[in-house]
Amino acid sequence: MLEFFTGKVPFFYIPHDAMVIAMILDGEFPRRPDDDRVVARGLDESMWQLMMDCWHAMPSERPSAADLVSRLAAALDLKSASTSVGAEGLTTRTLPREDSFLGDSPRRQQNGPRSILETRLRSFFGASKRGFR
């Protein structure tokens, strides 16, 4: 989600993967951006809290897919209510289930805040294996 608001990967400001790994293992999260562009895109307190909840170290404490949908819909409703565009001017399209990003079996993601670490490690070790053939 953070990448949607910033257009950058989490921890983009950290130059070395080893430093990112150490930060994640220490329980640190990406810095909250506060520039006007990111705020204009909708990164408010509720969106930041949602991201923090998704990064919780305990998988059982992270929001379920249903919770995410509910919280995102509520945030969208608040944003819509605060704009001058009326709901009658908007159209709604429901995606068929097979087109949905949730797929056929929505479930909790089990890797949480370590996903950045795991992605970087997979990328590194994949590149290493390819380089040593």
In a domain, 64, yes or no: yes
In a domain, 125, yes or no: yes
Q: State how far the Cα of 112 lies from the Cα of 54, in Å rounded to an integer.
A: 7
In a domain, 93, yes or no: no
Q: What is the pLDDT of residues 76-105, one digit of tens each?
A: 877 666 554 444 544 444 444 443 344 444
Range of the domain at 12: 2-81+109-131
17 alpha carbon, distance to own chain's centre: 19
- The answer to whether 10 and 2 have CB atoms below 8 angstroms apart is yes
Looking at residue 103, its pLDDT comes to 40
The tokens describing 77, both together, are: 């409703």
In a domain, 103, yes or no: no
Sign of CA dihedral 97, 103, 104, 106: negative
In a domain, 86, yes or no: no
Which DSSP state fits 114? Answer: G
Q: Domain count of the chain?
A: 1
- The answer to whether 71 and 52 have CB atoms below 8 angstroms apart is no
Return left, alpha or beta for 57; rule: phi > 0 is left, psi -120 to 50 is alpha, else beta.
alpha
In a domain, 96, yes or no: no
Q: What is the pLDDT of residues 103-125, one digit of tens each?
A: 444 444 445 556 666 766 776 66
User: What's the pTM value of the predicted model, to 2 decimals?
Assistant: 0.58
Q: Pick the more confident residue, 7 or 130.
A: 7
In a domain, 104, yes or no: no
Does the structure show a pLDDT above 90 at 60? Answer: yes
Residues 6+ apart with CB under 8 A from 97: 104
In a domain, 94, yes or no: no
